[in-house]
Structure 1
Amino acid sequence: MEVNNWHKELTYDEWVPITISGARPGPRYKHAAAVVDEKLYIAGGSRNGRHLSDVQVFDLRSLTWSSLKLKANVGKEDGDSSQEFLPATSGHSMIRWGEKLLLLGGSSRDSSAELTVRYIDIETCEFGVINTSGNVPVARVGQSATLVGSRVILFGGEDMSRKLLNDVHVLDLESMNWEMIETTQTPPAPRYDHAASIQGERYLLIFGGCSHSVFFNDLHLLDMQTMEWSQPQTQGNLVSPRAGHAGVTIDESWYIVGGGDNRSGCPETLVLDMSKLVWSVLTVVKPKDPLSSEGLSVCSATVDGEKYLLSFGGYNGRYSNEVFVMRPKEKDIVRPKIFQSPAAAAAAASVTSAYALSKSEKLDFMQLDYMNSNSHVNGHSKDDVTDKIEAIKEEKRILELSIAEVRAENSKLGGEIEELNNTHAELSKELQSVQGQLVAERSRCFNLEAKIAELQKLLESMQSVEDEVQALREKNSALDQEIELAATAQRQSSGGVWRWFGGNEK
């Protein structure tokens, strides 16, 4: 692969490993990644149960790795000049904001009760903690953080006591103020290690993730204007449950890579057409491929005006430090499906028919005036003009009948739409009830699993006690035998003593 033109040699919609020159960063997963100006930044992560604190940079032009040498922001309360590394962190999120990288949440040795927002200035290489205000979320790992304009939408995760979350918080990056969002309808079940994306700067999409015992493959949508949750119906390929996957959006396509269910990784790269809500499988890798891993990262990068996907790291039986690239084929952009509705379509048809009628009437009178004013010029008699007027009136009558039919059809469709809306409302209520029961059952199952685990531990401890009792019994039996043997020997030896006393009496 030629260094300067490596991206031009790629085939479409296929993952290709990048040949790296020089040293690579250590393998890892559950790190954070972002792309700035043709450079991929990797921060933190975990390997073999140990959190990492380094920041690595991959240059997409030279295809080489380098370490970002950081220094604490001197004179600020959040650091001192002697500190050269970020706190070792795993399970965090990273957002690019101007020339800064913002690191949100994650697990580290100095984790506080509230969620911490750190920054890395990629121009000065300074880092520190940003003081935020408002309703600051609790500290957490495995959350999603999605940038929408100048706001970060935070959803879900797992707090430091392993409580699962499904709350929504918004961080205003202009004021650094947190706000907790009150939502309506049925939210996603509490989860972590899911994927999130934004559609049309209005709809937040949540896909997959897991609880302590369940892996999800559901898709949820939050309308950021009404703050209403819904679970839209999708089409296309069936998707398997997964957590620890990564997602990135290019135009109206949401690419989902990797993930797994603690037993096996997900080898397929999925694409959700967000304008039609249709799932499709883009490509499939081998089961043990690094792209079939949990805790990997995926970013999009623009090189010479064309967008590419970049993947790094992950764990699937072994930790990875490879970089993979994909050249996605451009998709046709259509009007988003979620901005359309049958009611809007019927209203549009009514407006169109009314406009056609008014335009026809206007055209009719214009033609009539024109013909009356020019009848003498064209040499037509009054009867000819009258015949033409009658013909136009007949065409107008036919057009009016057609418009009346369209209106009747619109009215009929409106009734059907109202009926469907009523049915949908009833089904939504039933679905909410079933989902509530399902959440309750899942909670009950989790509690039962916890009790079973406790009972298993108790049984194991009882078995250990029984083993000790049996050993004591065997030991006691052996002691009894020894005592019996000693007593027998004593009795045998005591007869000689009496004989000795008898001899003296003689």
Structure 2
Amino acid sequence: MDPAVERHRLELVARERSGHTAVVEDNLLYVWGGYMSVADDEVFLPNDEIWVYDLERGVWEVYHMTGEAPPSMSGTCSCSLNGHMYIFGGCDDNGQTNQIYCVDLTDGKYMWKKIVHEIGSAPSPRDKLSCWVYKGRIIYFGGYGHKQLTDIDSRNRSFIVDEASWVEDVFWGWNNEVHIFDPIKASWSEPQTHGRAPAPRAAHASATIGGRGYICGGRVMETRTIDVHCLDLESWMWSEIIPGSSTPVGRSWHTLTTVSENTLFLFGGLSVDCKPMSDGWLLDVETKNWREVEHPYKNKPRLWHTACPGKDSDVIVFGGSCDYILLVDTGHCNDALVFQMQPYPLFRLCEDYIAKNVRSCEMLKNQLPLLPPKLLTAVEMRMSFYRPSKKQTS
């Protein structure tokens, strides 16, 4: 794998954080929420600011948000759909929530809207869940949260009670429920799934390939797993992917990102022995084989970070913690790590070569004004990405 690119700038950099949410839209990385450490306290990041990272120029900007803003929180589940970022669930100062909000990322106003459903019932409050987007709908899976005793059906195992956490008739625990939200109809529904469902879990990872939703690992009661399950989003049939002999160790708070028509990229997480991880693995869902991959960030373990698909099959990892955050809550990060997962097309290779070398090559510098306007603009943006930071030039 070719060397990836890491940006550290002193001009403006998003605040370090874990448990945040992020999406990529039009080559811009949008980051919202999460929490950081201030002295001995855990502090939620402001709910009225969104950080935007230009993946072409390597520049951060922060924008003020208005409207019906969600509470400041961590562990919410986000996705991008039709130019909007939707978030559901999460944990704020009052505990887990089951509200859904959206914000238009395309109009430059960044105005939050709280969505009130008109049909169906919202899932119970939860955080550390995941979702898939398919045919204009958002499909949520799992998470950790609470239910009333009257809402717990002892005949099925879709909700496992956390024996260490309950108050009178309110019980906390893990679930493996599947819920569908339709933004057009403002409706919630719960499909009847078939096959053997994954065990209830939270802090797992998910990704979508075509009409199939995948989940991997996570916290299942008192252990962390690396099992992989697939849900057919048409037939609602569950199946488990049984891999070959070489597999990653069990983990939670990791990420899973689609990088090709049959390949998923796993990065980081917290292992079964509570070790922050920095390994990267590719899973071929057709052959059902895992393969560990080399990358330049082996010295940068991450957990409760985000990972988003970018241009040319890049994966953009942002933030997270490099420590076991349940014990030492000081290692939150704010760097953006760009993983190259596929060979770049010729245009990208040329663009990057010029941008990297134009300052040191007199011939390139003299020929730069001769480029067609559109190409010149693209190259100048990449030059901004590769320019030395103030720290490097001081």
TM-score if structure 1 supplies the norm length? 0.56
Between the aligned partners of 1:325 and 1:21, the Cα distance in structure 2 is 19
Instruction: Work out whether residues 223 and 229 of structure 1, in 8 Å CA contact, stay in contact via their aligned partners in 2.
Output: yes
For 1:315, the aligned partner's letter is: S
Moved over 3 A (4+): 12-16, 109-113, 284-287
Relative contact order (alpha carbons < 8 A, sep ≥ 6): 1 or 2 greater? 2
State the secondary structure of the residue aligned to 2:218: coil
Q: Name the counterpart of 2:258.
A: 249
Between the aligned partners of 1:205 and 1:176, the Cα distance in structure 2 is 25
How far did residue 151 of structure 1 move?
A: 1.3
For 1:29, the aligned partner's letter is: S
Q: Give the one of 114, 125, 128 matched to 2:110.
A: 125
Q: Give the one of 262, 285, 310 matched to 1:301.
A: 310
Equivalences for 1:59-458 in 2 at 5 Å? 59-72=54-67, 79=68, 86-109=70-93, 115-122=98-105, 123=107, 124-132=109-117, 133-160=119-146, 161-201=171-211, 203-235=212-244, 237-251=246-260, 252-261=262-271, 263-283=274-294, 289-290=299-300, 292-302=301-311, 306-317=312-323, 318-330=331-343
Between the aligned partners of 1:112 and 1:219, the Cα distance in structure 2 is 26
For 1:65, the aligned partner's letter is: W
For 1:120, the aligned partner's letter is: V
Greater strand content: 2
For 1:93, the aligned partner's letter is: C
Instruction: Work out whether residues 135 and 180 of structure 1, in 8 Å CA contact, stay in contact via their aligned partners in 2.
Output: no
What per-residue deviation string (whole Å, max 9, x for no partner) do you get for residues 129-159 of structure 1?
0112313111110100111121111100001
How far did residue 21 of structure 1 move?
A: 5.2
Greater helix content: 1
Between the aligned partners of 2:314 and 2:295, the Cα distance in structure 1 is 18
For 1:109, the aligned partner's letter is: D
Q: Name the counterpart of 1:18.
A: 7
Structure-2 change in CA distance of 1:121 and 1:111 (3 Å): farther
Instruction: Work out whether residues 96 and 145 of structure 2, in 8 Å CA contact, stay in contact via their aligned partners in 1.
Output: no
Residue ranges of structure 2 left out of the alignment (5+ in a row):
147-170, 324-330, 345-394
Between the aligned partners of 1:162 and 1:212, the Cα distance in structure 2 is 11
Between the aligned partners of 1:235 and 1:174, the Cα distance in structure 2 is 42
Structure-2 change in CA distance of 1:41 and 1:89 (3 Å): same
2:29 equivalent to 1:40: yes
Instruction: Work out whether residues 188 and 220 of structure 1, in 8 Å CA contact, stay in contact via their aligned partners in 2.
Output: yes
How far did residue 284 of structure 1 move?
A: 5.3
Q: Name the counterpart of 2:327.
A: none
How far did residue 241 of structure 1 move?
A: 0.2
Instruction: Work out whether residues 236 and 280 of structure 1, in 8 Å CA contact, stay in contact via their aligned partners in 2.
Output: no
How many matched pairs? 302
State the secondary structure of the residue aligned to 1:134: coil
How far did residue 185 of structure 1 move?
A: 2.8
Moved more, 221-230 or 31-40: 221-230
What per-residue deviation string (whole Å, max 9, x for no partner) do you get for residues 259-296 of structure 1?
01362122211111123222111125666x43x21101
TM-score if structure 2 supplies the norm length? 0.72
Q: Name the counterpart of 2:354.
A: none
Between the aligned partners of 2:134 and 2:286, the Cα distance in structure 1 is 18
Instruction: Work out whether residues 313 and 342 of structure 2, in 8 Å CA contact, stay in contact via their aligned partners in 1.
Output: no
Q: Name the counterpart of 1:415.
A: none
Identity rate of aligned residues, in percent?
Answer: 23
Between the aligned partners of 1:103 and 1:225, the Cα distance in structure 2 is 23
Moved more, 34-43 or 268-277: 268-277
Structure-2 change in CA distance of 1:327 and 1:285 (3 Å): closer
Instruction: Work out whether residues 52 and 62 of structure 2, in 8 Å CA contact, stay in contact via their aligned partners in 1.
Output: yes
How far did residue 168 of structure 1 move?
A: 0.7
For 1:70, the aligned partner's letter is: M
What per-residue deviation string (whole Å, max 9, x for no partner) do you get for residues 424-473 of structure 1?
xxxxxxxxxxxxxxxxxxxxxxxxxxxxxxxxxxxxxxxxxxxxxxxxxx
Rg comparison, structure with higher value: 1
How far did residue 58 of structure 1 move?
A: 0.8
Q: Name the counterpart of 1:394.
A: none
For 1:146, the aligned partner's letter is: W
How far did residue 321 of structure 1 move?
A: 0.4
Q: Give the one of 15, 37, 44 matched to 1:51.
A: 44
Between the aligned partners of 2:178 and 2:114, the Cα distance in structure 1 is 22
Report the aligned-residue RMSD. 2.1
How far did residue 319 of structure 1 move?
A: 0.8
Between the aligned partners of 1:180 and 1:119, the Cα distance in structure 2 is 21
State the secondary structure of the residue aligned to 1:231: strand
Residue ranges of structure 1 left out of the alignment (5+ in a row):
1-11, 73-78, 80-84, 332-506
Between the aligned partners of 1:250 and 1:236, the Cα distance in structure 2 is 23
Between the aligned partners of 2:334 and 2:58, the Cα distance in structure 1 is 14
Between the aligned partners of 1:50 and 1:330, the Cα distance in structure 2 is 40
Between the aligned partners of 1:217 and 1:103, the Cα distance in structure 2 is 26
Between the aligned partners of 1:285 and 1:215, the Cα distance in structure 2 is 26
Between the aligned partners of 1:311 and 1:29, the Cα distance in structure 2 is 12
Q: Name the counterpart of 2:167.
A: none
